[in-house]
């Protein structure tokens, strides 16, 4: 890999890992738009599929006590339908022109941006979550398979339940972990994943291993609202860039 591309990979994943360590999410949202611009969408999605598995194994284990929360009864159905959606989304990644998918990813980022700006605080009751789980699960899986980003549907749905931080991080990490376990084999089966991308993904784990713990360390010292605003501004700009094809 060229030194410039290696630097982009390292710096982008370091920034995403820091945010994920501090907030429990954000690595794909931060890294994928930049990596897509530098490597192409399929390449970026392949790298992130490996990264997603490793980082979320760590967080599921760290926040495993959150699994006992009774409000997570929707999770089994949600995760099963996520897995179903990934297959169709991966087919889209392999068969649609990359420009269409990049444009779609830009739209997804802008929708997420507008949603968070207009309605940052809303709550879904557990009974409603049970009914919505199959639909949000399929949508989450399709987004993951086609663009490598599932947060605009999955994280928004889980966040809307008003869970405390440990339960929220556990639920989100469990979702990302399952999606990664389904997505990576699907990328190989479909012929999208290249063997040398695996090496790049392993190299990407070095800055992640350094900056995720740093993010966790400062999480209690910095404002979560400040993080959210920084992420939203970044996503909004990247969404505009992708939609306009800049």
- What does the pLDDT look like over 26-45, one tens digit per residue? 788 788 888 888 888 888 88
Q: Which of 57, 26, 49 is nearest to 204 (CA)?
A: 49
What the block records as the tokens of 43 is: 């390449």
Estimate the share of the chain in helix, then strand, then coil, as percent rounded to the nearest 5. Answer: 85, 0, 15
Q: What is the pLDDT of residue 160?
A: 75
Q: Which of 3-7, 94-98, 199-203, 230-234 has the highest mean pLDDT?
A: 199-203
Tell me, what DSSP letter sits at residue 233? H
Decide which of 15 and 124 is more confident.
15
Beta carbons of 19 and 34 less than 8 angstroms apart? no
Q: Which of 58, 55, 25, 10 is nearest to 163 (CA)?
A: 25
DSSP assignment of 56-98 equals: HHHHHHHTGGGGG-GGGGGHHHHHHHHHHHHHHHHHHHHHS-H
Tell whether the torsion through CA atoms of 228, 231, 234 and 239 is positive or negative.
negative
Residue pLDDT, tens place only, 140-170 = 898 888 888 787 788 778 877 877 878 888 9
Residue 136 CB coordination number (10 Å): 23
3-state secondary structure of 24: coil
Q: What is the pLDDT of residue 20?
A: 80
What is the residue-averaged pLDDT of the chain?
82
Half-sphere exposure of 179 (CA within 13 A, CB side): 39
Which pTM does this prediction carry?
0.78
From CA 233, how far away is CA 25, in angstroms rounded? 16
Q: Is the pLDDT assigned to residue 1 strictly greater than 60?
A: no
Residue pLDDT, tens place only, 176-222 = 999 989 889 988 988 888 888 888 888 888 988 898 888 878 766 66
Q: Is the pLDDT assigned to residue 230 strictly greater than 60?
A: yes
Q: What is the pLDDT of residue 155?
A: 78
From CA 34, how far away is CA 12, in angstroms rounded? 7
Residue 227 CB coordination number (10 Å): 18
Which has the minimum average pLDDT: 3-17, 55-69, 176-190? 3-17
Distances in whole angstroms, Cα of residue 228 to Cα of each of 214, 216, 224, 225: 17, 15, 6, 5
């Amino acid at each position: 890999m060229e030194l410039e591309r290696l630097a982009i990979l390292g710096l982008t994943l370091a920034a995403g890992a820091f945010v994920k360590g501090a907030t429990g999410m954000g690595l794909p949202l931060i890294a994928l738009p930049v990596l897509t611009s530098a490597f192409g969408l399929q390449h970026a999605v392949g790298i992130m599929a490996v990264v997603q598995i490793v980082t979320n194994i760590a967080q599921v284990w760290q926040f495993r006590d959150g699994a006992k929360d009774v409000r997570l009864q929707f999770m089994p159905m949600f995760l099963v339908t996520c897995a179903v959606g990934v297959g169709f989304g991966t087919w889209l990644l392999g068969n649609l022109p990359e420009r269409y998918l990049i444009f779609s990813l830009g739209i997804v980022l802008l929708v997420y941006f507008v949603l968070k700006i207009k309605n940052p605080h809303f709550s879904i009751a557990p009974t409603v979550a049970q009914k919505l789980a199959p639909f949000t699960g399929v949508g989450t899986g399709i987004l993951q398979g086609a663009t490598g980003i599932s947060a605009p549907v999955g994280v928004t749905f889980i966040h809307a339940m008003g869970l405390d931080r440990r339960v929220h991080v556990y639920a989100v990490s469990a979702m990302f972990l399952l999606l990664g376990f389904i997505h990576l084999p699907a990328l190989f089966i479909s012929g999208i994943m290249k063997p040398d991308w695996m090496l790049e993904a392993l190299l990407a784990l070095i800055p992640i291993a350094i900056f995720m713990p740093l993010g966790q360390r400062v999480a209690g010292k910095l404002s979560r609202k400040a993080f959210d605003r920084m992420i939203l501004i970044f996503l909004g700009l990247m969404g505009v860039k992708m939609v306009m094809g800049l």
